[in-house]
Amino acid sequence: MSTYFPKEGEIARKWYVVDAAGQTLGRLATRVASILAGKENPRYTPFIDTGDHVVVINAEKVRLTGMKSESKVYRHYTGFPGGLREEGYRKRFARRPDMVVQEAIEGMLPKTKMGRSMAKKLKVYRGDKHPHQAQKPEGLSLAKQA
């Protein structure tokens, strides 16, 4: 008997809406990354992207614990000599809270072609409105699981 692997056309992708209001950033990111990777799907296969689409709303209401909001720093390199750019969490969050949530989730996905395809299924919005009503997304509660 051979092992069954889902084909590309057989994978039925669902759409979920996650409300980030009052959620801790890291805990939210781990659950959403797990859904994007398909690990909560019974047909999960490590080398096939079986994940679902996730829409995160209210990114501006996510929170950090402890002193992370004062000490966390975002860095990127422009590619030019002396081009290391740094920005503190508070400044980045005030400017683009959706980018903070998206980078936290994408950082928990694989750094491969498959990880990039998983990241394309993530949509993050700062408010509670999103343009994906036509996909009929299901609400997903990220409450603590027992």
118-141: pLDDT as tens digits = 999 999 999 999 999 999 999 998
| pLDDT average, residue stretch 111-124 | 97
**φ/ψ (deg, to 5) at 19:** -90, 115
Q: What is the pLDDT of residue 93?
A: 97
Q: Which residues of 2-16 are buried (b: 16+ CB within 10 A; e: fewer)?
A: eeeeeeeeebeeebb
Q: What is the pLDDT of residue 9?
A: 86
pTM: 0.91
25-37 vs 97-106: helix axis angle to the nearest 10? Answer: 50
Q: What is the pLDDT of residue 29?
A: 97
Q: What is the pLDDT of residue 145?
A: 53
Choices 2.60.450.10, 3.90.1180.10, 2.70.70.10, 3.40.50.280: CATH for 15-63+90-140: 3.90.1180.10
Q: Tens digit of pLDDT for each residue in 30-84? A: 999 999 999 999 889 999 999 999 999 999 999 999 999 999 999 999 999 999 9
**Is a pLDDT exceeding 60 seen at residue 90?**
yes
Q: What is the pLDDT of residue 144?
A: 60
Q: What is the pLDDT of residue 1?
A: 81
**Is a pLDDT exceeding 50 seen at residue 146?**
no
